Amino acid sequence: MRVLVTGGAGFIGSHVVEALTARGHEAIVFDVRADPAADVRDPAAVGQALAGVDAVCHQAAMVGLGKGFEDAAEYVSRNDLGTAVLLAGMAEAGVRRLVLAGSMVVYGEGRYACPRDGVVRPGPRAVTDLDAGRFEPRCPVCGAALAPGLVGEDAPADPRNVYATTKLAQEHLAAAWARSAGGSAVSLRYHNVYGPRMPRDTPYAGVASFFRSALARGAAPRVFEDGRQRRDFVHVRDVAAANAVALEAGSAPGVLTAYNTGSGEPHTVGEMARALADAHGGPAPVVTGEYRLGDVRHITADSSRLRAELGWKPEVGFAEGMREFAALG
C-alpha cells in the first residue's frame, strides 16, 4: 500500500514509517517538521498529499496536558480542525482506509470496583482531597475504598482535560467520515508510549521523558502524588507495529473500531521512575506529593481485543524497554 503518515517525522510517526517500510509498504511523510507547508489544517496541502494514496495513518496531533487551559484553542485547531480537514480531503480523494492515533485518555479514570456497589465510575478528584494527600478515588455511592481494574473499549468515555476531549472528538469525526464515505476507520487507543525519539524538556513531553531528562542532568526524578498511580507503559516500536497491522487488516466499512493498545503489564509511575534510575545509575526518585489537576489516578486497559482480532502482541518487555530508554541519555 501507499500510506500517507501525518506526523510522520514525529516520535511515534517516524517509527510507523519504519514499520510500514519494513513490511514492504510505501510510506509518505506529511509533517510540518519535515516541510513547513505540510500543515494538516491546510486543505490544499492535504489534497495534494492524498493523490495516489491507498490509506492514511493519522499521527499528527498536539499531545500532552500542555501548560493550562490557555492551550485549548491550539489543541482544538491542531487535533480536531486538522482531523476534519484531513477527513474531508480523504472523502473527496476517495481514500477509504484510516488508522487514527487514539488515546486511552478518552476514558478518564479507569475501571474501579467497590466491594459493596460493584463497578462504579468515580468523578474527578476534589482539590481538598489532593491537597491533603488523599489521592485514591472513593466509591461515589458509599465512600468505600476502590480496587482498580482494566478498562474495555466499550466503557463510557469521560475525558478529563482539553487534550482528552480533542482525542475523543477525533474519534467522533472519524466515525462520521466512515459512515458518510463508507470508509474503514480504526482508532488505536495508545497507552503511555515511550522509547527512542520521545520528545523531551517541553510541557508536552511524557512522564518517562521528564524522568530520563532529570537523570541525564544528574538529578533525581520527581514523582507526583505518592507514585502509586497505575499506568501501562508500551514501547513505541510495539505501537508502530500495531499501526501497520491495523492498516493491513482494515475494518468493517462504515464504522470506527477502537482498540486499546498497551503492553498488558500495568506498572506504577513510581516503579517506572525506579526502573529508569536503576538502569541509568542515577539518584533514586523523589516522591513529591505534588499533583496536576486533570490527571487521573489509575488508567490501565484491556488490550486483548487487538491481540485476538488483529494478531498483534507487544514484543518489548518493561524491564528491557526501560533499560534501552535509560541508555539513550
| 67 pLDDT tier (thresholds 50, 70, 90) | low
Kind of pairing between the strands at 233-235 and 192-194:
parallel
Looking at residue 204, what is its pLDDT?
Answer: 58
Phi, psi of 76 (to 5 degrees): -65, -40
Chain centre to alpha carbon of residue 5:
16
Looking at residue 221, what is its pLDDT?
Answer: 96
Query: Which of the two residues, 147 and 67, has the higher pLDDT score?
Result: 147
Q: Which residues contact 135 (CB under 8 A, 6 or more apart)?
A: 125, 129, 225, 226, 228, 229, 291, 297
Looking at residue 76, what is its pLDDT?
Answer: 97
| 295 pLDDT tier (thresholds 50, 70, 90) | confident
Is the separation of the CB atoms in 80 and 170 below 8 Å? yes
Looking at residue 255, what is its pLDDT?
Answer: 95
What tens digit of pLDDT does each residue of 135-173 get?
999 999 999 999 999 999 999 999 988 999 999 999 999
Average pLDDT, the chain: 94
What tens digit of pLDDT does each residue of 208-260 get?
999 999 999 999 999 999 999 999 999 999 999 999 999 999 788 999 999 99
Arithmetic mean of pLDDT, 306-327: 96
What is the pTM for the complete model shown?
Answer: 0.94
